Chain A
Amino acid sequence: MSYHYNEAFENPDYHYSETLEIDRSKERNSSFQQNLHDSSLHDDSYDSYEGHSGRGQRNQDYPMAIPMSSMQPGFRYSHSTSRSAVPNTNPYGNPHTNPSFEYEPELAYTSPSTFHAMDGPYVRRSSDMSDGGSFSQRYNRRQADLVYRMPSSLLRLDSNAETYNEDKHKQEKLIKNLASMSSRERIKAIQKTPKTMKEKRDIRNKVLMEKTKKSVSYSTQINCCTQCLYKTALSYRRFKSGLSEYFHLLQLWQKTLKVIGGKFGTSVLSYFVFLKWLLTFNIFSFLVNFSFITIPQLIASGPNNLTFNGLELLTGAGYFKKTVLYYGFYTNSTITKAENNSSYNMQLAYIFTIGIYFIICFFSLVYSMAKSFHKNFINPQTYAGSAAKLLCIWDFNITNEKAVKLKQSNLSTQIKESLSEVTLEVLNLSLKQKIARITVHLVAWVASLGTAAACCAGVYFLSRNNLQLLEGNKSELEKEAATLVLPIVVSLLNLLIPFCFALFGLIEKFQYPRHELYVTVIRNIFLKISIIGILCYYWLNDVATSEEECWESLVGQDIYRLIVIDFIFCLLGSFFGEFVRRIIGTKCCKKLGVPEFDIARNVLDLIYTQTLAWIGIFFAPLMPAMQIISFFIIFYVKKVSLMRNCQPPRKVWRASQMTTLFIFLLFFPSFTGVLSVMGVTIWRRTPSKQCGPFQGLTSVIDAVSGWIHILDSYSSSKWVVWIYRNLIGSVHFFFILTVIVLIITYLYWQIIEGRKIMVRLLHEQIINEGKDKMFLLNKLRALQTSKLDPSKGEQQERSSSLYQPSRQAALQMTASLERPFGRNGRDYYAESSSAGIPEKIGLSPADAEGHQPAISETLALALRARQQAEWEMEDDDDEDFRP
């Protein structure tokens, strides 16, 4: 047992990477060299057991600690016996159930440095976690193995004491380990361990005790100050968790989402979650705009003398022209209360509010995109096929009986399809067919891009026409009605063209349905974004340079109309697309059936409106309010329509991957496009002369440079000026920043490439290891065909030494993949045969592969031989111990 006290225990670095090896060596000591089970050791373990429960007594302050710690040995014992009663394995008939033990001894002697090279600092933490995670089951199971091996109950008891001793030691180590972490890390580590609540609680209490013990010994006088500090920290933590919980409760539609998830699964749920996420964006922007731009303006504004006639709700013109809804209503003056000296500069408030809002939006989008990418490991090449499909497909969200049945039958058809696909994929196409296929794809792409371009041209000419109409002299009502033509046409295009694209999808035969999905999404987003782009071009190029009185307000009105009409079309769409479709599907044409909820189309619609709303923020600061209202209504309409009319989608919808894609789309063409439009508006366009906060300036940004110029005269705010001149206004700064970002990106890219190669190599190693194993097993079998003789043990030893390098490779693999359970897994691996092989023997008639049971039998034989050899050795060592 000398391993217990070597430096590896004291040195944390060793500890993290080497724990398992040490464990193993120890186990080997305990299980193979049974001469260690002498009376002195027995006493020793008994003593420590006493000490342990004594500690439990001291522990009375902590609620659950007493029963747990005093109960522990009994608990483990019962656990081990219950394990021996596992079906398929007869409790004592398999004294040979430990094939993997043979391989272990070697590991203890491998040089630790080899592992260190692989274990980066990053890995260590996770392996540390897994260390905690693997304890309980590992030891329980380990013990069960020992029980199998011991022929008599006497030995068994002894082994219990022995393992208990080990166990205790291990736990102490874990506790020491946990105690050295910060409280947050500790909580996380404990959270990660797959144990029952009781065990976790026990560990935590022990850790806390360890900590207090340490602190007592460290500084005998705990002064009042630190205690106070500790208490505040604790209460702060409680407050924080409580607060976050209440925020959680505040979250909208928690129940509705649960119902939707229960009935339609995660895929449809992802649409509603996305909608909710966009809604929070809008709520935030509304709050910001309302409090920093609108409220000051409302204080300063005069009465509105226009009449309200109802049509405004649709057109956004008329009465609304002279309200806080539009840019044109805001004043350029500083708002001052007479008696108070403080003033409010409207120009700066306007530009800074919107600027800061966009910056926040930018970072939150980047953040959520990065998080989503990180979480979902988007990597189409490594996507596991049917395995992951089968084992990860069950949606535990679904709680509705009908939905469960539907899901099950969908799954069975899917599985049948994929089985038939296996045979289909084999047939490869001739050159002619390939060319035909590629031409079809090309034609479809050209057609769809052409349609989009034609739509854009149409929209552009229509809008120019509209502008001339507005300038001509017609009655007000006629003008207002004419303005509605453009948004209706745009919404119609948005509604109808996607159907054309869907038709293309029917002609094009994609090999995988997901390609079809991606292509349709890309074409649709291209259409929508190019329509918005052409509208922006029209606004910035034609409206802004026209002689209109207040072009910003005109743009705001256009956007208002687009959003309102789109909203109406969305409602009509869910009425006709889903309700009427269901009526047709169930009453007239039974073949069509109940419609499915088209997630992609609906999400793209959301992205489209959100883009418009973002553009609109500058021209109509209260646009988010409209967006909030429309999203609210859409949420409920969609929910009702979904519940009444739709059925869950039949195809597999990779919810998380698609959500990532949608967030990306929201960022890339949509948000970046909005930013560039904003850039042009602020830096390049002249604001209108008679209205708005920036009247009289040559460009919007002049407001800021003017302010900086004023600040320059105050010595106290020189730093602001310096920052503006040298950082924000300087080209060099941005150049350097870009270069640095590019370098970092390049470095990371290289690291990723390196890791990819490493992963590939390690994967190959694992496969080789599997082959090695097979080979060795075959060898073993060959050896076993000859009669058993005492030299078997040596043979075994040799084969295990052969085995060692591949094992090492596997260990490296687990370390580099940073899977917290990696080491745990090794142990499972080691135990694989102990539990798995009797199982195999039991199942062998059902097993299709003929060689498997044969191998396990051989293995079992080999093990028995080995064991006999060992017992013989023990007989020499301590005669009295023999059963």
Chain B
Amino acid sequence: MKVYTFPSLFRLFYRYRDLAPQLVPLSYIDKPDVKLPYELIGSMAELKDNPFRQRIAEVFSEDGEGNMTLDDFLDMFSVLSEMAPRDLKAYYAFKIYDFNNDDYICKSDLEKTVNKLTRNELTPEEVCLVCDKVIDEADQDNDGKLSVEDFQHMIVRAPDFLSTFHIRI
């Protein structure tokens, strides 16, 4: 919550407002209940080409459908900022990859991830092989799917994660 200080907060607020100037009021003193639909959030320059944009919006929105209040919006960029701690980032990255929201990255989640990463250029067999390999490698407790723990354990050994899970605003 303190990841952003005043000026960048303003910057973020204006980014948010620019998405729909007619919807978002300039003043938040009386706490208006404004939610921007996913179509607007997903059209931001920072997100529009990201293959995971829908997941990002879903994970950070309170209703789970990608419609964001200002708070959700700030949350999103504070987690994706440079200063967010590793574990927080890992937690949300995990949620982003957990497509079916069951708190585990199972094989179907991984398949979806691979397809998004490669634009369906791999054959189903290859995708299956890759997913098996990933689960085999990262699964610490042999339950055939990745828990948050497994994921965080993996992140620790992937130093680039901190710099890549980062959106400059």
The number of chain B residues with a CB under 8 A from chain A is 86
Interface mask (A376-401 → B, CB under 8 Å = 1, otherwise 0): 11110011111111111111111111
Given that A409-B119, A419-B126, A843-B108 are known contacts, is A828 also in contact with B51, CB under 8 Å in the complex? no
The answer on a CB contact under 8 Å between B71 and A192 is no
Q: Which residues of A contact B113 (CB under 8 A)?
A: 390-391
Question: Can you pick out 8 interface pairs between chain A and chain B where the beta carbons lie within 8 Å of each other?
Answer: A191-B85, A390-B113, A390-B134, A399-B47, A412-B121, A773-B141, A821-B149, A828-B148
The answer to whether the Cβ of A763 comes within 8 Å of any Cβ in the partner chain is: yes
Chain A's nearest CB lies how many Å from the CB of B28?
Answer: 10
Measured CA separation A93–B45 after assembly (Å)? 44
Given that A416-B122, A824-B148 are known contacts, is A411 also in contact with B3, CB under 8 Å in the complex? no
Chain A's nearest CB lies how many Å from the CB of B145?
Answer: 7
The answer to whether the Cβ of A819 comes within 8 Å of any Cβ in the partner chain is: yes
Q: Which residues of B contact A422 (CB under 8 A)?
A: 133
Interface set, chain B 1-19, CB cutoff 8 A to A: 1-3, 5-8
Given that A411-B118, A415-B126 are known contacts, is A196 also in contact with B85, CB under 8 Å in the complex? no
Q: Which residues of B contact A270 (CB under 8 A)?
A: 163
Chain B's nearest CB lies how many Å from the CB of A127?
Answer: 12
Measured CA separation A767–B142 after assembly (Å)? 7
Interface set, chain B 134-153, CB cutoff 8 A to A: 134-135, 137-138, 140-145, 147-149, 151-153
The answer on a CB contact under 8 Å between B88 and A191 is yes
The answer to whether the Cβ of B43 comes within 8 Å of any Cβ in the partner chain is: no
Of A262, A656, A831, the residue contacting B103 (CB under 8 A) is A831
The answer on a CB contact under 8 Å between B154 and A384 is yes
Output the residue of B155, B158, B167 with the most chain A CB within 10 A: B158
Measured CA separation A382–B154 after assembly (Å)? 10
Measured CA separation A388–B154 after assembly (Å)? 6
The answer on a CB contact under 8 Å between B164 and A415 is no
The answer to whether the Cβ of B130 comes within 8 Å of any Cβ in the partner chain is: yes
Of A241, A388, A408, A832, the residue contacting B5 (CB under 8 A) is A241
What is the chain B residue whose CB lies nearest that of A394? B117
Q: Top 3 nearest A-B pairs by Cβ distance?
A: A770-B142, A376-B159, A825-B149
Interface mask (A827-853 → B, CB under 8 Å = 1, otherwise 0): 011011001100100010011110010
The answer to whether the Cβ of B38 comes within 8 Å of any Cβ in the partner chain is: no
Measured CA separation A86–B58 after assembly (Å)? 14
Interface mask (A228-250 → B, CB under 8 Å = 1, otherwise 0): 00000000000001101110110
Of B87, B130, B149, B156, the residue contacting A829 (CB under 8 A) is B149
Of B91, B130, B157, B158, the residue contacting A415 (CB under 8 A) is B130
Given that A266-B163, A390-B114, A391-B113 are known contacts, is A835 also in contact with B103, CB under 8 Å in the complex? yes
Measured CA separation A187–B5 after assembly (Å)? 13
The answer to whether the Cβ of B74 comes within 8 Å of any Cβ in the partner chain is: yes
The answer on a CB contact under 8 Å between B152 and A819 is yes
Given that A382-B157, A391-B154, A404-B51 are known contacts, is A852 also in contact with B144, CB under 8 Å in the complex? yes
Q: Which residues of A contact B154 (CB under 8 A)?
A: 384, 387-388, 391-392
Q: Which residues of B contact A248 (CB under 8 A)?
A: 8
Q: Which residues of A contact B85 (CB under 8 A)?
A: 191-192
* Interface size range on A against B: 35 or more
The answer on a CB contact under 8 Å between B117 and A393 is yes
From A197-205, A663-671, A783-791, the one touching the partner chain is A197-205
Measured CA separation A399–B135 after assembly (Å)? 29
The answer on a CB contact under 8 Å between B71 and A197 is yes
Of B143, B152, B159, the residue contacting A378 (CB under 8 A) is B159
Of B145, B159, B168, the residue contacting A257 (CB under 8 A) is B168
Chain A's nearest CB lies how many Å from the CB of B151?
Answer: 7
Chain B's nearest CB lies how many Å from the CB of A248?
Answer: 8
Given that A408-B51, A817-B153 are known contacts, is A832 also in contact with B143, CB under 8 Å in the complex? yes
Q: Which residues of A contact B122 (CB under 8 A)?
A: 412, 415-416
Of A190, A198, A377, A386, the residue contacting B71 (CB under 8 A) is A198
Interface set, chain A 181-233, CB cutoff 8 A to B: 187, 190-192, 194, 196-198, 200-201, 204
The answer on a CB contact under 8 Å between A377 and B102 is no
Measured CA separation A387–B105 after assembly (Å)? 12
Q: Which residues of B contact A657 (CB under 8 A)?
A: 159-160
Interface mask (A244-268 → B, CB under 8 Å = 1, otherwise 0): 1110110000100110011001100
The answer to whether the Cβ of A814 comes within 8 Å of any Cβ in the partner chain is: yes
The answer on a CB contact under 8 Å between B143 and A390 is no
Measured CA separation A242–B2 after assembly (Å)? 12
Interface set, chain A 403-423, CB cutoff 8 A to B: 403-405, 408-409, 411-412, 415-416, 419, 422
Q: Which residues of A contact B87 (CB under 8 A)?
A: 133, 192, 819-821
The answer on a CB contact under 8 Å between B6 and A242 is yes
Q: Which residues of A contact B114 (CB under 8 A)?
A: 390, 415
The answer to whether the Cβ of A769 comes within 8 Å of any Cβ in the partner chain is: yes
The answer on a CB contact under 8 Å between A392 and B155 is yes
The answer to whether the Cβ of A756 comes within 8 Å of any Cβ in the partner chain is: no
The answer on a CB contact under 8 Å between A409 and B121 is yes
Q: Which residues of A contact B158 (CB under 8 A)?
A: 383-384, 388-389, 392
Output the residue of A388, A393, A397, A774 with the most chain B CB within 10 A: A388
The answer to whether the Cβ of A88 comes within 8 Å of any Cβ in the partner chain is: yes
Q: Which residues of B contact A835 (CB under 8 A)?
A: 102-104
The answer on a CB contact under 8 Å between B103 and A396 is no
The answer on a CB contact under 8 Å between A266 and B160 is yes
Measured CA separation A379–B159 after assembly (Å)? 10
The answer on a CB contact under 8 Å between A766 and B140 is yes
Of B7, B49, B134, B159, the residue contacting A387 (CB under 8 A) is B134
The answer to whether the Cβ of B128 comes within 8 Å of any Cβ in the partner chain is: yes
The answer on a CB contact under 8 Å between B164 and A394 is yes
Measured CA separation A753–B140 after assembly (Å)? 22
Q: Which residues of B contact A773 (CB under 8 A)?
A: 141-143
Q: Which residues of A contact B40 (CB under 8 A)?
A: none
